[in-house]
């Protein structure tokens, strides 16, 4: 008998699940129906800042697979259809075709929830005015580009200095805008400790970006036509022809909540290691709508990243397809950049380590990306946290120029393997003058951390 798999959400997690399940089961064995309320599937939101900034020329370069390509592989992809309700005991979902308004119940044998995350939009006056933009979807990106092309002036305000805000600030600078970033936290990039965040602030200011920290948006002010003309914080007003919101996201789990599925303390769905929703045999979930296990602190977190969403989808598809795969958790690795400044982090910040009840040593070192004498060498700052007494690596943050960010992968592997900083010193990393100093900056930090651990043992 043919089983029916219904998937809600047709982007990274949803379409990875559909593709993997289809690789493992034929259309005779498994019918796959995907509901996607948007206009696109399998697109890279990660590329939107680079499209807006002009590094990527065409919108369609950000689309990995079109609906037609998915359909050619026997995936029944229903675009512009929104799922409005889950009836989990009845094994069915209520779906509405957004163009016609027609509604129907569709039954399933297996269900995948891949509804992603919802961008935060503070409920303040003027927030929905023309000229105020999110950057979650390709439609958002297109609207922003059109808004920039027709904007009366060249003053942009970015709200939020997480990685999306910082990347959008770069995009707007590249388009010749005067950019002000308004950030609630004490420094940009709250995923780093404030001392490392201050390096990013300094670099952004060096690029001519005005960075306002511990400042909160209170109002969007509009002109006679209703278009944004300025934004206000408690302290001041800032003229703005365009405003971009990058304040963060929360899991899109309203349907799941209404259906009584288990949510964690961050409102993300809770799954077991096979990405099956806890306590529900026939329901899986993955991507930005779930919480993940932090392997370093042992706590559940909500981390909205495409790299996780694609893996979740593949694991779900493999399990539904009759195979066996698990997602063990994450160490919290992320990379970003603002112009030529590269930023990377993995593991715990100081405040995470405190919250987890860990005692630790912290070291910060200055090094370079290449041998000191080699042309193009650039400074790099590495901060490392190691557990007191055991010396287990707890986290690394890194700020530098070309070649800095991807060094974080060494630390991500060391964290996953639960290595001590002492063991890291012995890692056989590659060396030649164009690529690193003879002691790679990660090794220099590990050596200093090992000394600190030894001293306080
Ligand atoms: C500007 C930007 C830059 C980013 N850069 C990076 C990066 O550099 N690296 C990285 O790892 N990650 C990055 N991300 C994050 C990454 O894009 C997301 O983590 C990833 O897209 C999550 O995939 P997902 O499938 O879980 O959710 P989504 O991509 O959000 O897909 C969910 C889909 O579900 C649909 N949907 C929701 N509810 C319903 C419903 N009820 N009915 C029908 N359809 C529904 C939505 O329309 C959407 O298409 C970035 C994100 C943004 C916005």
Q: Domain with 400 in it: what CATH number? A: 3.50.50.60
Nearest CA to ligand 1 atom 48: 9
Ligand 1 atom closest to the Cα of residue 335 is: 8
329 lies in some domain: no
Per-residue model confidence (pLDDT) at position 147: 97
CA 45 to ligand 1 center in whole angstroms: 7
- Ranges of beta strands (E only) in 286-373 are 292-293, 300-301, 334-338, 341-347, 360-368
300 lies in some domain: yes
14 Cβ inside 6 Å of ligand 1: yes
In 3D, which of 164, 162, 158, 201 has the Cα closest to residue 177?
158
Q: Which helix (H) or strand (E) holds 120?
A: none
44-62 pLDDT, tens digit per residue, is: 999 999 999 999 999 999 9
**Do 307 and 346 fall into the same domain?**
no
**Do 296 and 353 fall into the same domain?**
no
**Do 45 and 141 fall into the same domain?**
no
Query: Which residue, of 219, 247, 275, is where some domain finishes?
Result: 247
247-287 pLDDT, tens digit per residue, is: 999 999 999 999 999 999 999 999 999 999 999 999 999 99
30 lies in some domain: yes
Per-residue model confidence (pLDDT) at position 457: 84
| Mean pLDDT, range 404-420, rounded to an integer | 97
Whole-number average pLDDT of the chain: 97
Q: What's the predicted TM-score (pTM) here?
A: 0.96
Strand order in the sheet with 228-233: 217-222, 228-233, 237-239
**Do 165 and 263 fall into the same domain?**
no
In 3D, which of 244, 415, 213, 420 has the Cα closest to residue 332?
415
Compute the half-sphere exposure of residue 72: CA atoms within 13 Å on the CB side of its CA: 5
312-333 pLDDT, tens digit per residue, is: 999 999 999 999 999 999 999 9
168 lies in some domain: yes
**Do 172 and 207 fall into the same domain?**
yes
Residue 25 near residue 41 (C-beta atoms within 8 A): no
136 Cβ inside 6 Å of ligand 1: yes
Share of the chain above pLDDT 90, in %: 98
Per-residue model confidence (pLDDT) at position 339: 85
359-374 pLDDT, tens digit per residue, is: 999 999 999 999 999 9
CA 289 to ligand 1 center in whole angstroms: 9
Using only C-alpha atoms, what is the Rg of the chain? 23
**Do 238 and 257 fall into the same domain?**
no
Nearest CA to ligand 1 atom 33: 9
- Confidence class for position 194, pLDDT limits 50, 70, 90: very high
325 lies in some domain: no
Nearest CA to ligand 1 atom 28: 116
89 lies in some domain: yes
Domain residue limits at 382: 334-455
- Alpha carbon 251 to its chain centroid, in Å, reads 12
Alpha helix positions (H), 179-286: 194-206, 254-258
- Alpha carbon 298 to its chain centroid, in Å, reads 20
**Do 140 and 224 fall into the same domain?**
yes
Q: Would you say residue 1 has pLDDT above 90?
A: no
Number of domains in the chain: 3
In 3D, which of 248, 226, 255 has the Cα closest to residue 86?
255
114 Cβ inside 6 Å of ligand 1: yes
Ligand 1 atom closest to the Cα of residue 16 is: 25
Ligand 1 atom closest to the Cα of residue 40 is: 49
**Do 351 and 433 fall into the same domain?**
yes
105 lies in some domain: yes
Ligand 1 atom closest to the Cα of residue 84 is: 41
343-400 pLDDT, tens digit per residue, is: 999 999 999 999 999 999 999 999 999 999 999 999 999 999 999 999 999 999 999 9
Active site residue 46: yes
42 Cβ inside 6 Å of ligand 1: no
- Residue 373 has what DSSP assignment? T
- Confidence class for position 88, pLDDT limits 50, 70, 90: very high
Per-residue model confidence (pLDDT) at position 6: 98
CA 117 to ligand 1 center in whole angstroms: 6
In 3D, which of 79, 75, 72 has the Cα closest to residue 35?
79
Ligand 1 atom closest to the Cα of residue 313 is: 25
User: Which pair of tokens denotes residue 82?
Assistant: 């929104």
**Do 285 and 191 fall into the same domain?**
no
CA 449 to ligand 1 center in whole angstroms: 37
Per-residue model confidence (pLDDT) at position 298: 94
Q: Would you say residue 417 has pLDDT above 90?
A: yes
327 lies in some domain: no
Residue of 46, 213, 289, 339 marked active site: 46
| Mean pLDDT, range 404-410, rounded to an integer | 97
**Do 157 and 224 fall into the same domain?**
yes
Q: Would you say residue 130 has pLDDT above 90?
A: yes
Task: Say how far apart CA 242 and CA 149 lie, in whole Å.
Answer: 10
- Confidence class for position 125, pLDDT limits 50, 70, 90: very high
Q: Helix, strand, coil % (nearest 5) of the chain?
A: 30, 30, 40
35-45 b/e with 16+ CB inside 10 Å = b?
A: bbbbebbbbbb
Q: Which of 55, 168, 305 to mutate to test ligand 1, by most ligand atoms within 8 A of the CB atom? A: 305
Nearest CA to ligand 1 atom 42: 82
Per-residue model confidence (pLDDT) at position 270: 98
Ligand 1 atom closest to the Cα of residue 305 is: 19
Q: Which of 96, 288, 316 to mutate to test ligand 1, by most ligand atoms within 8 A of the CB atom? A: 288
Query: Which residue, of 265, 291, 320, is where some domain finishes?
Result: 320
Residue 87 near residue 104 (C-beta atoms within 8 A): no
| Mean pLDDT, range 227-254, rounded to an integer | 97
CA 10 to ligand 1 center in whole angstroms: 9
246 Cβ inside 6 Å of ligand 1: no
196-217 pLDDT, tens digit per residue, is: 999 999 999 999 999 999 999 9
Task: Say how far apart CA 208 and CA 266 lie, in whole Å.
Answer: 36
**Do 271 and 178 fall into the same domain?**
no
CA 47 to ligand 1 center in whole angstroms: 12
Q: Which of 9, 12, 108 to mutate to test ligand 1, by most ligand atoms within 8 A of the CB atom? A: 9
116 Cβ inside 6 Å of ligand 1: yes
**DSSP three-state, residue 65:** coil
Query: Which residue, of 220, 247, 274, is where some domain finishes?
Result: 247
**Do 310 and 367 fall into the same domain?**
no
| Mean pLDDT, range 109-128, rounded to an integer | 97
134-158 pLDDT, tens digit per residue, is: 999 999 999 999 999 999 899 999 9
């Amino acid at each position: 008998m043919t089983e029916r798999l219904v998937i809600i959400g047709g982007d990274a997690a949803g379409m990875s699940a559909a593709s993997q399940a289809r690789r493992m089961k034929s259309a005779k064995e498994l019918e796959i129906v995907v509901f996607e309320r948007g206009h696109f599937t399998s697109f890279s939101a990660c590329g939107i800042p680079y499209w807006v900034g002009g590094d990527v020329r065409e919108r369609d370069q950000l689309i990995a697979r079109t609906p037609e390509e998915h359909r050619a592989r026997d995936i029944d992809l229903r675009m512009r259809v929104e799922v409005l309700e889950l009836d989990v005991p009845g094994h069915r979902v209520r779906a509405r075709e957004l163009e016609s308004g027609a509604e129907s119940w569709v039954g399933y044998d297996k269900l995948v929830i891949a509804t992603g995350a919802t961008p935060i939009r503070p409920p303040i006056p003027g927030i929905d005015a023309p000229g105020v933009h999110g950057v979650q979807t390709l439609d958002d990106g297109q609207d922003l580009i059109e808004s920039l092309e027709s904007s009366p002036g060249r003053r942009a305000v970015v709200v939020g200095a997480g990685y999306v805000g910082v990347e959008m600030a770069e995009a707007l600078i590249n388009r010749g805008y005067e950019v002000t970033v308004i950030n609630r936290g004490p420094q940009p990039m709250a995923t780093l400790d404030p001392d490392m965040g201050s390096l990013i602030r300094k670099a952004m200011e060096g690029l001519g970006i005005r960075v306002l920290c511990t400042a909160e948006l209170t109002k969007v002010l509009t002109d006679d036509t209703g278009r944004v003309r300025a934004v206000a914080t408690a302290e001041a007003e800032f003229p703005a022809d365009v405003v971009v919101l990058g304040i963060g996201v929360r899991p899109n789990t309203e349907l799941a909540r209404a259906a009584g599925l288990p949510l964690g303390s961050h409102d993300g769905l809770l799954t077991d290691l096979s990405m099956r929703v806890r306590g529900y045999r026939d329901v899986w979930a993955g991507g930005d709508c779930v919480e993940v296990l932090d392997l370093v602190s042992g706590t559940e977190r909500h981390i909205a990243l495409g790299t996780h969403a694609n893996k979740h989808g593949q694991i779900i598809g493999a399990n539904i397809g009759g195979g066996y795969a698990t997602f063990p958790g994450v160490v919290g690795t992320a990379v970003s950049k603002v112009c030529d400044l590269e930023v990377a982090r993995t593991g715990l910040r100081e405040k995470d380590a405190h919250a987890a009840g860990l005692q630790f040593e912290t070291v910060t070192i200055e090094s370079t990306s290449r041998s000191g004498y080699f042309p193009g060498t650039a400074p790099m700052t590495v901060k490392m946290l190691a557990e007191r007494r055991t010396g287990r690596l707890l986290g690394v943050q890194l700020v530098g120029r070309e070649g800095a960010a991807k060094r974080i992968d060494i630390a991500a592997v060391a964290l996953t393997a639960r290595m001590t900083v002492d063991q890291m010193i012995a890692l056989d990393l590659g060396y030649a003058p164009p690529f690193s100093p003879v002691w790679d900056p990660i090794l220099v930090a590990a050596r200093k951390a090992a000394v600190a651990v030894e001293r306080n043992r």
